[in-house]
Amino acid sequence: MAIKYTLAVRVQPRKKTEGDESLPRKYYAVAQSSGVIKSDKLCEQASATPLGNANLLASLPILSHAIETELLNGNIVDLGPLGRFSLTLKSKGTESPHNYNPHVNVKEIAFHWEPGWNTEKFLQKAEFKRAVTRKDERIIRKKALRRPDERDNEDTQD
């Protein structure tokens, strides 16, 4: 197992650099997913437990609703080895507290996950594998869709 990544050229992330082309650009790794694992597949993997696949799958919507309710009540939800969930706010500032209106100034409510106690253990096992970029993937697919005689001619022309 490996975490796939591609490289992206960026000006220092996290710094406001709009329009300043003179700043140095560096390459940064960007994680690339291999796909999406839905809850039923995840429950299938965990079905070796005494709970079984059906019980695990049935409990997810109940757990999800309980997490949403507690977060909207302002609580941090601690799920032990799964981690802690909380909400954070991104907002615009105002000159005075009297001028602050959350409906105007709050720009984003973000969902925050803090890894659980055993997450560090599995992250230490992480390996990395450079992935094919999406652009290169499209080129490979186009070549694969061509007729064999077209691909042979292309190879001799290179």
Tens-place pLDDT, residues 10-69? 776 566 656 666 777 777 777 776 666 666 766 777 777 777 778 878 888 888 889 888
Contact of 61 with 98, CB cutoff 8 Å: no
pTM higher than 0.85: no
- Is residue 139 situated within a structural domain? yes
- Is residue 122 situated within a structural domain? no
How many structural domains are present in the chain?
3
Q: How confident is the model at residue 86 (pLDDT cuts 50, 70, 90)?
A: very high
Same domain for 113 and 80 = yes
Task: Compute the chain's Rg from CA coordinates.
Answer: 24
Give the domain range for residue 87.
76-117
Q: How far is Cα 120 from Cα 139, in angstroms, rounded to an integer?
A: 38
